[in-house]
A and B are shown apart, each in its own frame.
Chain A
Amino acid sequence: MEPRDEAELAGIVADAAAAGRALCIKGGGTRQELGHPVEGASLSLRGVSGITLYEPGALTLVARAGTPLDEIEAALAAEGQRLPFEPMDHRLLFGTDGAPTIGGVVAANVSGPRRVQAGACRDSLIGVRFVDGSGAVLKNGGRVMKNVTGYDLVKLMAGSHGTLGVLTEVSFKLLPAPETAATLRIAGLGDAEAVAAMSAALGSPYDVTGAAHLPAGTGDGPLTLIRLEGFEKSIAYRSAALRDQLGRFGPVEIETDATEVAARWAGLRDARAVSGGAGDIWRISVKPGDGPAARAALGPETVSHFDWGGGLIWARVPEGQDVRAALAGIPGHATLVRASAATKARLGVFQPEAPPLARIAAGLRARFDPRGILNPGRMG
């Protein structure tokens, strides 16, 4: 099914609810592997598409959920602006093609390396319209960046993987795109030193917008990478100041070629270092200081790298390995992003929740989707 607008979509959902028929919600279908497989009639959002409002002078964009991400990024680029959270492209990881949609990005709360400085997708999201599991059209938030009118269901919808509602429209707060960017590189660091260097950079006044580390065994690793963005003169000043500060960790090289800098961070954003080869892929979020211990716990056969200053680990492990068991005792969460259906079923995709939280989650699902027809089982 491919409705052309919100009203038609609401009708489809209401009919499905009446018949108790499950729906499998699709944006561009580039990340259908995220989460557990869903059995249900395919419901594509591709027809609910288009930018409905873009005010560069107010840093706001409103778009229908099925709008391809490319279209949004092109419109923003024309005005020298961007989505602050740098959404990842999953096509490499899953070997899929198709066009990722903005609704899919929100449904999965997708953020890239800039998350450490600019926040996650949910932090830039300021409004949503969606259709709940009974077919009711609902809205929350709006198109202004400060809004505390009632409960913030905008955040609830971000990352709910289509299990609480089908998103039809999303609003974002934007940022100016920087004039230029640079990458600082330090070669040869071990994990603990690398995280210390990244912490020093992120704790400096130089406004770092990316801090990643490729350990030995991931292409050109070990290589610690720090990104700066802004006006040209400011980048020159901050790169030099930060190079001095990080000098104690080893010689610092500065990469300024725009194409190279962009390609490097796109590679990190899309988890290129772990995407090739066989094995399961996990995404692990810990406190940066726990990063080295977490990576060590994954075992020698793991290929993995750090983003978010050490707080995000992308890991490819031998098939079927239970990463959560290995990480026991380290606070955080691990998501099984790519694996066979059997492994996903056995280990679970998402981190199990404490019983009171699981009860709250189940309660919310029961109220927003009483017939259980929206992406049933996707979140386990």
Chain B
Amino acid sequence: MQMPDPDQSVLARKEAIVAGLGRILPADAVISDPAETRAYECDALTAYRCPPLAAVLPSTTEEVAAVLRFCHEQGVKVVPRGSGTSLAGGALPTADSIILGVARMNAVLETDYANRVIRVQTGRTNLSVTGAVEADDFFYAPDPSSQLACAIAGNIGMNSGGAHCLKYGVTTNNLLGVKLVTMQGEIVELGGAHLDAAGYDLLGVLCGSEGQLGVVTEATLRILRKPEGARPIMMGFDANEVAGACVSDIIKAGVLPVAIEFMDRPCIRACEAFAKAGYPDVEALLIVEVEGSEAEIEEQLAKIKEIALRHNPTELRESRSAEQSAAIWKGRKSAFGAMGQINDYMCLDGTIPVSQLPHVLRRIGEMSKEFGLDVANVFHAGDGNMHPLILFDANKPGDLERCEAFGAEILKLCVEVGGCLTGEHGVGVEKRDLMLAQYTPEDIEAQLRVKDVFDPKWLLNPAKVFPLETTETRRAA
């Protein structure tokens, strides 16, 4: 992974910069000891690492503003960080940058059931937002699998989604307002507890901008009343095509499940070996979950079953109890852990139009033979978000490189059939150089204009999202 050469003048001023940060923040909020900055040298994409110049952990929005003002004046780059669970290297530091972590800012500021909003500091973890309201039967809908660890800050940075986004949308659909600190150190509010902020939809642009337009310190989130109940149904098919057609038919019939998960045979086998959930050995498995009152669940499941039966499933298992529901989900939820047991793997994240599912799975199978690496597929079928897992052996020379090349081919295939390079993990450094497969240089230029306006000196989260050659002149200016 090519990164720009660090700014020598900044490296040379390290001591003065750390001292300057020390004048702004309490002593325990500035970390510059190389042994301690190591904790910040990468995110969950551990293949790439680089210790930052320093890391800071402010406790208030005002402190964040003061840090950014100082860094802006000094020409020091800043990498915002939530919990560091990005899988795209979105929070990867450079040697000449400081990490600005919001982990200490994790308070609930306001819970307002009448208006169905919660206001939190962005260091709060995703799951603990729901935790703050679930005793009153409310929840925060976006549910990335990393929800126990990842912060609202990073969810906003990556516009994260989860299994339930078919019905409830992703972060951008559930975010009403933020307190944002610009790189110049100005504190501004976008949106609020009311709907549809005035003027241009800057909140919409900020969400998913991967920490490159400003630092969010507070967020106003939509909370929803929990449904009365939820129940899954599991079905097995002897061909991917048939399972794909079944997904389309369910959607066309007007049933809107909260989740439709798809697993292929290699994935089913691995999960079964690991979790012993009692999965059948079939070519393709669908798990469909519906919500509502008991009667509504029955009605929806009956419709889904009727559709499934038209496709001759080799297996049809409707949950009748909480235990059965848990058993159905158990294998799916352990997919990543299960694969990790067998092998090293690389988890991809691309999106395709659902109609292309059979074609894409077939092509991945063919490419798997060409590259000599196995692939297991698990994904959110309702919205076409695929997570092919490519298995490789990290100790075998050349395997990682082959795996990366294979991954890039799969993502290009996603784009070719009308999809995109990333559905939920973000571009970061991981997919930066593939951007030109999806966008023309002019399309990218249009995005860079937005960055120019928010961060004219190009200091925020450097070298992410865009191929380096497309940003070279701006970074040099």
Determine the residue in chain B with the shortest Cβ distance to A155: B204
- Do B188 and A148 have beta carbons less than 8 Å apart? no
- Do A150 and B195 have beta carbons less than 8 Å apart? no
Q: Which of A146, A159, A164, A287 contacts B384 (CB 8 A)?
A: A146
Determine the residue in chain A with the shortest Cβ distance to B417: A144
Asked if B161 CB lies within 8 Å of chain A CBs, one says: yes
Chain B residues with Cβ below 8 Å from A154 are: 204
Known contacts A109-B196, A137-B442, A333-B194; decide if A149 and B228 are in contact (CB<8 Å). Answer: no
Chain B residues 337 to 396 lying within 8 A of chain A, measured CB to CB, are 351-355, 380, 383-385
Asked if A335 CB lies within 8 Å of chain B CBs, one says: yes
Known contacts A234-B295, A237-B293, A354-B189; decide if A149 and B114 are in contact (CB<8 Å). Answer: no
B167-208 Cβ-contact flags toward A at 8 Å (1 or 0): 001101100000000100010111011111111111111011
Known contacts A57-B249, A146-B170; decide if A158 and B194 are in contact (CB<8 Å). Answer: no
| Docked CA distance A230–B466 (Å) | 43
Q: Which of A150, A205, A289 contacts B114 (CB 8 A)?
A: A289
Asked if B79 CB lies within 8 Å of chain A CBs, one says: no
A109-121 Cβ-contact flags toward B at 8 Å (1 or 0): 1010001100110
| Docked CA distance A77–B249 (Å) | 17
- Do B228 and A153 have beta carbons less than 8 Å apart? no
CB distance from A110 to the nearest CB of B (A): 10
Q: Which of B292, B353, B426, B435 contacts A58 (CB 8 A)?
A: B353
Known contacts A150-B427, A205-B225, A234-B299; decide if A57 and B251 are in contact (CB<8 Å). Answer: yes
Of the four ranges (under 10, 10 to 19, 20 to 34, 35 or more), the interface on chain A belongs to: 35 or more
Chain B residues with Cβ below 8 Å from A132 are: 446
Q: Which of A144, A207, A312 contacts B353 (CB 8 A)?
A: A144
CB distance from A281 to the nearest CB of B (A): 17
- Do A364 and B355 have beta carbons less than 8 Å apart? no
- Do B435 and A176 have beta carbons less than 8 Å apart? no
Chain A residues with Cβ below 8 Å from B199 are: 350-351, 353, 357, 361, 379
| Docked CA distance A80–B117 (Å) | 32
Asked if B296 CB lies within 8 Å of chain A CBs, one says: yes
- Do A142 and B295 have beta carbons less than 8 Å apart? no
- Interface locus among B46-54, B146-154, B252-260, B275-283: B252-260
A190-219 Cβ-contact flags toward B at 8 Å (1 or 0): 000000100100111101000000000000
Asked if B215 CB lies within 8 Å of chain A CBs, one says: no
| Docked CA distance A132–B447 (Å) | 12
Chain B residues 457 to 474 lying within 8 A of chain A, measured CB to CB, are 465-466
- Do B384 and A148 have beta carbons less than 8 Å apart? no
- Do B200 and A160 have beta carbons less than 8 Å apart? yes
| Docked CA distance A80–B256 (Å) | 13
- Do B200 and A308 have beta carbons less than 8 Å apart? no
CB distance from A83 to the nearest CB of B (A): 15
Chain B residues with Cβ below 8 Å from A140 are: 443, 446-447
Chain A residues with Cβ below 8 Å from B299 are: 231, 233-234
| Docked CA distance A281–B419 (Å) | 43
- Do A123 and B196 have beta carbons less than 8 Å apart? no
- Do B450 and A364 have beta carbons less than 8 Å apart? yes
- Do A146 and B165 have beta carbons less than 8 Å apart? yes
- Do B115 and A289 have beta carbons less than 8 Å apart? yes
Asked if B424 CB lies within 8 Å of chain A CBs, one says: yes
A214-241 Cβ-contact flags toward B at 8 Å (1 or 0): 0000000000000000110110011001
Chain A residues with Cβ below 8 Å from B173 are: 119, 123
| Docked CA distance A55–B356 (Å) | 11
- Do B443 and A123 have beta carbons less than 8 Å apart? no
Asked if B116 CB lies within 8 Å of chain A CBs, one says: yes
Chain A residues with Cβ below 8 Å from B193 are: 287, 331
Which of A146, A230, A285: most chain B CB closer than 10 A? A146
CB distance from A294 to the nearest CB of B (A): 10
Known contacts A58-B353, A119-B169; decide if A351 and B198 are in contact (CB<8 Å). Answer: yes
- Do A203 and B114 have beta carbons less than 8 Å apart? yes
Q: Which of B112, B188, B420, B449 contacts A356 (CB 8 A)?
A: B188
Contact sample, A vs B, 17 pairs, CB 8 Å cutoff: A58-B384, A115-B196, A139-B440, A144-B352, A145-B383, A146-B380, A146-B384, A148-B422, A149-B438, A151-B208, A151-B447, A151-B465, A204-B225, A231-B300, A241-B293, A285-B196, A287-B194
Mark B residues whose CB is within 8 Å of A: 112-117, 137-138, 158-159, 161, 165, 169-170, 172-173, 182, 186, 188-190, 192-205, 207-209, 213, 225-228, 247-249, 251-256, 292-293, 295-296, 299-300, 351-355, 380, 383-385, 418-427, 431, 435, 438-440, 442-444, 446-447, 449-454, 465-466
| Given A122-B201, A156-B450, 16 more pairs with CB closer than 8 A | A55-B355, A57-B252, A57-B355, A79-B252, A111-B196, A140-B447, A148-B158, A149-B435, A150-B439, A153-B447, A203-B113, A290-B194, A311-B194, A356-B182, A357-B188, A361-B200
